[in-house]
Structure 1
Amino acid sequence: MNIQDLIRPTIKALKAYSSARDEFQGVTDNMVFLDANENPFENGVNRYPDPHQRHLKTILSEIKGISTKNILLGNGSDEVLDLIFRAFCEPNQDNIVILPPTYGMYEVLANLNAIGIKAVNLDDTFQPKVEAILNAADANSKLLFICSPNNPSGNSFDAKAMETLVSEFKGIVVIDEAYIDFSNEASWISKLDTYPNLIVTQTLSKAYAMAGIRLGICYASAEIITVLNTIKPPYNINELTQKKAIELLNIKNLAKNQIQDILKERSLMISQLESVSFISKIYPSDANFVLVKVDDATKRYNQLIEKGIVIRNRTTQPGCENTLRLTVGTPQENKILIDTLKSI
Structure 2
Amino acid sequence: MDINNLQRENIKNLHPYSTARDEYKGQASVYLDANENGYGSPLSHNYNRYPDPLQLDVKDAISKIKGVPIENTFLGNGSDEAIDLLFRAFCEPGIDNVIVLPPTYGMYQVSAQINNVEIRKVNLLPNFQLDLEGIAEVIDEHTKMIFICSPNNPTGNSIIRTDIETILANFQGLVVIDEAYINYAKQKTFISELTEYTNLVILQTFSKAWGLAGLRLGMAFAPRPVIDILNKVKPPYNINQATQDLALEALKNVGQVNDWIKQTVQERTLLSEALLELPMVKTVYPSDANFILVKVEDASKTYNALVDQGIIIRDRSKVALCEGCLRITIGTPEENNTLLQFLKTL
Shorter-chain TM-score category? over 0.9
Instruction: Say yes or no: does 1:2 pair with 2:38.
Output: no
> 1:43-58, aligned counterparts within 5 Å?
43=41, 44=45, 45-58=47-60
Q: Distance in 2 between matches of 1:182 and 1:259?
A: 6
Which whole-Å deviations, capped at 9, do the CAs of 1:200-241 have from their partners, x for residues lacking one?
000000011000000000000011100110000000000110
What's the counterpart of residue 227 of structure 2? Answer: 225
What's the counterpart of residue 241 of structure 2? Answer: 239
- Say if 1:134 and 1:168, in contact at 8 Å, map to a contact too: no
Give how far 1:193 is off: 1.0
What's the counterpart of residue 19 of structure 2? Answer: 19
The AA in structure 1 aligned to 2:112 is A
Identity %: 49
Which whole-Å deviations, capped at 9, do the CAs of 1:233-277 have from their partners, x for residues lacking one?
000000110111111111240111110111111111111111111
What's the counterpart of residue 216 of structure 1? Answer: 218
Q: Distance in 1 between matches of 2:190 and 2:164?
A: 10
The AA in structure 1 aligned to 2:276 is E
The AA in structure 2 aligned to 1:142 is K
> 1:200-215, aligned counterparts within 5 Å?
200-215=202-217
Q: Distance in 2 between matches of 1:301 and 1:143?
A: 35
Deviates more, 1:165-174 or 1:277-286: 165-174
What's the counterpart of residue 149 of structure 1? Answer: 151
Give how far 1:46 is off: 0.9
Instruction: Say yes or no: does 1:102 pair with 2:104.
Output: yes
Q: Distance in 1 between matches of 2:168 and 2:290?
A: 26
The AA in structure 2 aligned to 1:307 is Q
Which whole-Å deviations, capped at 9, do the CAs of 1:288-322 have from their partners, x for residues lacking one?
00000011111110011111100000011100001
2:137 aligned residue (131, 135, 138): 135
Query: Which segments of structure 1 move beyond 6 Å, counting only runs of 4 or more?
Result: none
Q: Distance in 2 between matches of 1:11 and 1:317?
A: 35
Q: Distance in 1 between matches of 2:127 and 2:238?
A: 39
Q: Distance in 2 between matches of 1:50 and 1:225?
A: 16
Give how far 1:27 is off: 2.1
TM-score, with structure 2 as normaliser? 0.98
Q: Distance in 2 between matches of 1:149 and 1:204?
A: 16
Structure 2 portions without partners, runs of 5+: none
What's the counterpart of residue 61 of structure 1? Answer: 63
1:260 aligned residue (256, 259, 262): 262
Which whole-Å deviations, capped at 9, do the CAs of 1:25-65 have from their partners, x for residues lacking one?
1123xx11111111112232111111110110000001001
Structure 1 portions without partners, runs of 5+: none
Q: Could you say what secondary structure the match of 2:176 adopts?
A: strand
Deviates more, 1:278-287 or 1:165-174: 165-174
Q: Could you say what secondary structure the match of 1:253 adopts?
A: helix
What's the counterpart of residue 180 of structure 1? Answer: 182
1:191 aligned residue (177, 190, 193): 193
2:293 aligned residue (286, 291, 304): 291
Give how far 1:135 is off: 1.3
Q: Distance in 2 between matches of 1:265 and 1:214?
A: 26
- Say if 1:154 and 1:290, in contact at 8 Å, map to a contact too: yes
Matched pairs, number: 342
Q: Distance in 2 between matches of 1:252 and 1:61?
A: 13
Give how far 1:160 is off: 1.1
